[in-house]
């Protein structure tokens, strides 16, 4: 979570000439030079100038992360339950958590119990907090259970994935904010962030940039504020009685380990083992789609501290990983804004006919 | 529709406003609804505020339905199971987003984005929008409305004396009729109308529109505004065509039309929006 608490305090931020942080020396030199750069369009630049907001520097932060679903402390590496899952997705079949060392009879109620693995844990304890936790679990409605029949399924919050995303984003973001502090900024506007694969899929680049600005004639604020907005939209936000506090962004990743019914439905209802054809809702996938979005919203909400999230942008991707298994990733971005004054509502709108 | 405040009251003073806010360290005020979230633009939030409505929560509804195996083989008429899966997924997603809206204390959802992915064995329907409520704190209705209209359109509708009541949708997947061998041979080397595909499109269109309008009546609405249609080929079945339509169901309220006379303006600025945050974000 990008927490405005992590933004360098203005008191703590050193003046550009005395800056001792880890902003590269070349960058510190550039930031302290009298010439400035800005990522603002001319329109936004003009609107900001009108408000007394002056750009001081185009500030940026980067963080390049190694990116692997099966690395980074993921449970796949350690759990014998996944068939030593380095063998790929095939390793999951018949290896749903709970089928190893635990009986088939006990449905999950509160997620993993470390003891239910019968001491077969190779990687130490299966702590819920370390990698993630079970959100919902599903059991097989059939009486017959063969060796390759998926008796249990679950939707699992892959927290090691969202933690890595958060680490990459927050690091890039705070590096940008350090540069802003070095440039003596009051705020950073027109923030743009990109998360993309660099070179290949195993490397992910987090890039955050924006225009550091000062409010002319104003004292430095207690904390540097930041926003995705700029120009006229920023003006309207302030006019509406809000002040941006910080850019916020978070990610959630939900993995579907399909139970037999989900697996069958995802393949069009064809079911081996003599069961009749199925159709209708794939509850486990519907749930995962909802859960990823709710989780990411809850992540962001937990960082708002009573403020409002403005201009939320929710991006979701999902992929079918075979055998009915499924993954949903959600990213939510927006600007945390705070009501700083009561603003009169605009006059009620009137109809106009534009001759443009 | 415009809602304007003249320059003296805004831009000229914004500099002073900002300075006085900075002097107080941007100290926050208490707000009635803490931690609200919305994906409305600032323009939409302002125009909603001007008629006394506020965003409450970013809400979503999603549902996945299975399309049975074997139904994409070329047969005649409608691909009934695919149409049913589509209808089921949309209905479940709508129910889910309404439940989220109710839980957040919203009166309805505006700006709902409809995103339906159809795969060979799966229909995935996702609805995302901002739950809104009047600032008066009135009790939310048992059945919140859904609307894919923007905050601006919602405001205009209400001022015009109409209320959105829900989202109506209809979809149909249809097999193109087989051509006779002689027709296929004749058409293979000519640029002529492939009447079987035209017919299939018409058939799909009629069922889908009929379903959408039936749903509008069911929702006790008078009509559907802002109907969007999506039609075309089904990538994994060369002989099947699809048609889907959705829109916001409206009905007239007891409130009088508050729009008043129309004034004519000739704008001298760019018709295009000068700044779009999303466009800056890049890939």
> Of B120, B134, B137, B131, which is closest to residue B38 (Cα–Cα)?
B131
For residue B136, pLDDT over 90 is answered with no
- pLDDT of residue A207 exceeding 50, the answer is yes
Alpha-helical runs (H) found in chain B = 11-23, 42-50, 80-103, 151-159, 181-188, 195-218, 277-281
Contact B154, B147 (CB under 8 A): yes
Q: Do residue A218 and residue B89 have CB atoms under 8 angstroms apart?
A: no
Dihedral angle sign, alpha carbons of residues B131, B135, B137, B139: negative
- Residues in CB range of A307: below 8 A, 6 or more apart: A245, A336, A337, A338, B28, B35
3-state secondary structure of B120: coil
List residues bridging with A157 in a β-sheet: A133, A254
Q: Report strand pairing: B108-119 vs B122-134.
A: antiparallel
Tell me what pLDDT residue A21 has: 61
CA dihedral A216, A218, A219, A223 (to 10 degrees): -80
**Among A residues 226-255, those touching chain B with beta carbons less than 8 Å apart:** 228-233, 235-241, 243, 245
pLDDT confidence tier of residue B278, bands split at 50, 70 and 90: low
Cβ–Cβ contact B135 with A under 8 A: no
Selected for mutation to probe chain A from B49, B59, B60, B158 (highest A CB count within 10 Å) is B60
Phi and psi torsions of A9, nearest 5°: -70, 145
Within a 13 Å sphere around the CA of A52, how many CA atoms are in the beta-carbon half? 18
Tokens of A192: 């743009």
Identify the CA nearest to A331 among candidates A208, A162, A207.
Answer: A162
DSSP at B188: H
State how far the Cα of B54 lies from the Cα of B42, in Å rounded to an integer. 12
Mean pLDDT of B58-62: 96
Alpha-carbon span A69 to A319, nearest angstrom: 13
Which carries the bigger pLDDT value, residue B282 or residue A217? Answer: A217
Confidence of residue B274 (pLDDT cuts 50, 70, 90): low
**Interface touch A316/B156, C-beta < 8 Å:** no
pLDDT, chain A, mean: 75
CA torsion sign for A9, A10, A11, A12 is positive
- At residue A147, φ and ψ (nearest 5 deg) are -65, -35
Between B24, B36, B275, which is nearest A308 by CB? Answer: B36
Sign of CA dihedral A74, A75, A80, A83: negative
Residues of A whose CB is below 8 A from B156: 349, 351
Q: Is A15 helix (H, G, I), strand (E, B) or coil?
A: coil
A138 and A284 Cβ atoms separated by less than 8 Å: yes
Q: What is the per-residue burial (b if ≥16 Cβ within 10 Å, else e) of A133-150?
A: bbbbbbbbeeeeeeeebb
Listed by number, the residues of chain A in 190-219 with a beta carbon closer than 8 Å to a beta carbon of chain B are 190, 192-194, 196, 215, 217-219
Q: At what angle are helices A42-51 and B11-23 packed, to 10 degrees?
A: 60
Read off the pLDDT of residues A228-253 as tens digits, 9 standing for 90 and up: 999 888 988 988 889 999 999 999 99
> Does the distance separating the beta carbons of B27 and A309 come in below 8 Å?
no
Number of C-beta neighbours around residue B256 at 10 A? 7
Angstrom CA distances, A286 to A289, B88, B110, B201, stand at 5, 12, 22, 30
The SS3 of residue A346 is coil
Give yes or no for residue A100 having a pLDDT over 80.
no
pLDDT at residue B47 greater than cutoff 50:
yes
CA distance B70 to chain A (A): 8
pLDDT digits (tens, 9 = 90+) for B12-26: 578 888 888 888 888
A17 pLDDT more than 70: no
Q: What is the pLDDT of residues A139-196, one digit of tens each?
A: 887 766 677 778 888 899 988 889 999 999 999 999 999 999 999 999 999 999 999 8
Residue A181 to residue A184: CA distance in whole angstroms: 5
Calpha distance B152→B49 (Å, rounded):
11
Instruction: Say what the pLDDT of residue A130 is.
Output: 55
- Going by pLDDT thresholds of 50, 70 and 90, the confidence category of residue A127 is very low
Q: Tokens for B18, please give them.
A: 């900002």
Whole-number Å distance between alpha carbons of A157 and A165: 14
Contact B158, B134 (CB under 8 A): no
So what's the pLDDT on residue A79? 44
Q: Examine the pLDDT at A80 and tell me if it is beyond 80.
A: no
A281 and B63: CB-CB below 8 Å?
A: yes
Residues 44-83 of B with CB under 8 A from A: 45-47, 49-52, 58, 60-70, 81
pLDDT 10s digits, B149-182? 999 899 989 888 999 999 999 999 999 888 888 8
Residue of A nearest to B100 (CA): A294
The alpha helices in chain A, defined as continuous H runs, are 25-31, 42-51, 128-131, 159-182, 231-239, 260-266, 283-302
- Distance, CA of A1 to CA of A53 (rounded, Å): 28
**pLDDT surpassing 80 at residue A347:** no
Cross-strand bridge partners of residue A208: A61, A193
pTM (predicted TM-score) = 0.81
Q: Is A314 on the interface with B (CB under 8 A)?
A: yes
Are the C-beta atoms of A182 and A175 separated by less than 8 Å?
A: no
Q: What's the pLDDT band for B148 if we cut at 50, 70, 90?
A: very high
What pLDDT is stored for residue A271 in this prediction?
58
Interface residue of B26, B55, B57, B61 to substitute, partner A, most A CBs within 10 Å = B26
pLDDT above 90 (res B57): yes
Q: Are A4 and A300 in contact (CB under 8 A)?
A: no
Q: What is the pLDDT of residues A255-303, one digit of tens each?
A: 999 888 888 888 887 655 555 556 789 999 999 999 999 999 999 999 8
Residue-level pLDDT at A101: 28
> Is the confidence at residue A94, as pLDDT, over 70?
no
How near does any CA of chain A get to the CA of B113, in Å?
Answer: 11
Lowest mean pLDDT segment, chosen from A65-74, B46-55, B129-138: A65-74
Chain B interface mutation, best of A327, A328, A345, A355, highest count of B Cβ atoms under 10 Å: A345
Q: Are A266 and B156 within 8 A, CB to CB?
A: no
Distance CA A271, CA A273 (A): 7
Q: How far apart are CA B50 and CA B45, in angstroms?
A: 9
Distance set, CA B172 to CA A243, A278, B64, B169, B208 (Å): 48, 21, 17, 10, 5
User: Residues A67-82: what's their mean pLDDT?
Assistant: 54
Question: Is the model more confident about B264 or about B162?
Answer: B162
Chain B environment of A44 (Cβ under 8 Å): 274-275
More confidently predicted of A7 and A204? A204
Least confident residue range of A101-105, A206-210, B70-74, B141-145: A101-105
Contacts of A192 (CB under 8 A, 6+ apart): A39, A208, A209, A210, A228, B280, B281, B282
- A97, pLDDT greater than 60: no
Interface test with B, best of A194, A210, A286, A306 (most B CBs within 10 A): A286
Which among A228, A243, A245 has the least Cβ separation from residue B21? A243
Helices A231-239 and A42-51 meet at what angle, rounded to 10? Answer: 30
Record: contact A270-B21, CB cut-off 8 A: no
Q: Which residue of B has its CA nearest to A270?
A: B69
Measure in Å the smallest separation between the Cα of B267 and chain A Cα atoms: 6
Looking at residue A275, its pLDDT comes to 55
Average pLDDT, integer, range B180-209: 89
Alpha-carbon distance of B214 to A164, in angstroms, equals 48
A47 to chain B: nearest residue by CA?
B11
Q: What is the largest CA-CA distance in chain A?
A: 78
- How large is the average pLDDT for residues A201-219? 92
Among the partner residues A194, A231, A332, nearest to B275 by beta-carbon distance:
A231
Q: Tell me how far apart the alpha carbons of residues A299 and A186 are, in angstroms, rounded to a whole number.
A: 27
Q: Name the pLDDT band for B240 (thresholds 50, 70, 90).
A: very high
């Amino acid at each position: 979570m990008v927490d405005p608490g992590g933004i360098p305090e203005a008191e703590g931020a050193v003046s550009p000439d005395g800056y001792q942080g880890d902003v590269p020396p070349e960058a510190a030199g550039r930031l302290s030079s009298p010439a400035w750069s800005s990522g603002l369009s001319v329109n936004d630049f003009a609107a900001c100038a009108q408000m007394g907001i002056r750009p001081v520097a185009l500030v940026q932060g980067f963080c390049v992360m190694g990116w692997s679903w099966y690395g980074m402390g993921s449970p796949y590496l350690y759990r014998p339950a996944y068939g030593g899952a380095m063998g790929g997705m095939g390793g999951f079949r018949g290896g749903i958590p709970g089928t190893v060392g635990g009986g088939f009879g006990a449905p999950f109620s509160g997620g993993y119990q470390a003891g239910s693995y019968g001491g077969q844990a190779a990687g130490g304890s299966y702590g819920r907090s370390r990698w993630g936790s079970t959100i919902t679990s599903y059991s097989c409605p059939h009486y017959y259970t063969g060796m390759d029949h998926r008796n249990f399924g679950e939707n699992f919050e892959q927290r090691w994935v969202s933690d890595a995303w958060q680490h990459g984003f927050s690091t890039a973001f705070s590096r940008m904010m350090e540069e802003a502090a070095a440039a003596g900024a009051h705020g950073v506007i027109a923030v743009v962030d990109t998360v993309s694969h660099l070179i290949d899929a195993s490397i992910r680049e987090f890039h955050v940039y924006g225009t550091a600005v000062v409010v002319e004639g104003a004292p430095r604020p207690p904390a540097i504020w930041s926003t995705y907005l700029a120009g006229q939209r920023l003006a309207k936000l302030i006019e509406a009685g809000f002040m941006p506090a910080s850019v916020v962004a978070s990610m959630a990743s939900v993995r579907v380990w399909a139970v037999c019914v989900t697996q069958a439905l995802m393949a069009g209802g064809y079911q081996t083992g003599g069961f009749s054809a199925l159709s209708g809702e794939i509850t486990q996938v519907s749930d995962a789609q909802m859960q990823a979005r709710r989780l990411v919203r809850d992540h962001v909400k937990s960082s708002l501290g009573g403020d409002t999230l403005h201009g939320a942008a929710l991006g979701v991707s999902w992929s079918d990983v075979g055998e009915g298994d499924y993954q949903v990733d959600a990213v939510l971005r927006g600007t945390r804004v705070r009501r700083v004054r009561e603003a009169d509502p605009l006059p009620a709108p009137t109809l106009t006919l534009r001759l443009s | 529709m415009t809602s304007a405040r003249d320059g003296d009251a805004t831009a000229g003073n914004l500099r002073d406003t900002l300075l006085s806010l900075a002097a107080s360290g941007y100290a926050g005020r208490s707000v009635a609804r803490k931690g609200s979230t919305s994906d409305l633009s600032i323009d939409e939030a302002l125009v909603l505020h001007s008629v006394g409505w506020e965003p409450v929560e970013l809400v979503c509804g999603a549902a996945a339905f299975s399309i049975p195996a074997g139904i994409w083989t070329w047969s005649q008429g409608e691909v009934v199971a695919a149409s049913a899966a589509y209808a089921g997924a949309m209905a479940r997603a709508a129910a889910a987003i309404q439940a989220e809206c109710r839980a957040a204390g919203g009166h309805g959802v505006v700006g709902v984005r409809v995103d339906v992915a159809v795969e060979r064995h799966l229909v995935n329907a996702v609805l995302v929008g901002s739950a809104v409520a009047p600032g008066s704190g009135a009790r939310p209705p048992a059945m919140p409305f859904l609307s894919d209209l923007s905050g601006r359109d919602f405001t205009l509708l209400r001022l015009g004396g109409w209320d959105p009541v829900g989202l109506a949708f209809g979809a149909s997947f249809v097999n193109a009729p087989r051509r006779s061998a002689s027709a296929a041979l004749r058409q293979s080397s000519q640029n002529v109308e492939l009447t079987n595909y035209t017919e299939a499109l018409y058939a799909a269109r009629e069922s889908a529109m009929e379903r959408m309008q039936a749903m509008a009546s069911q929702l006790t609405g008078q009509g559907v505004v802002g109907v969007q249609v999506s039609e075309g080929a089904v990538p994994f079945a060369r002989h099947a065509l699809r048609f889907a339509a959705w829109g916001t169901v409206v009905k007239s309220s007891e409130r009088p039309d508050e729009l008043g006379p129309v004034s004519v303006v000739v704008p001298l600025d760019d018709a295009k929006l000068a700044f779009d945050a999303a466009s800056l974000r890049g890939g």
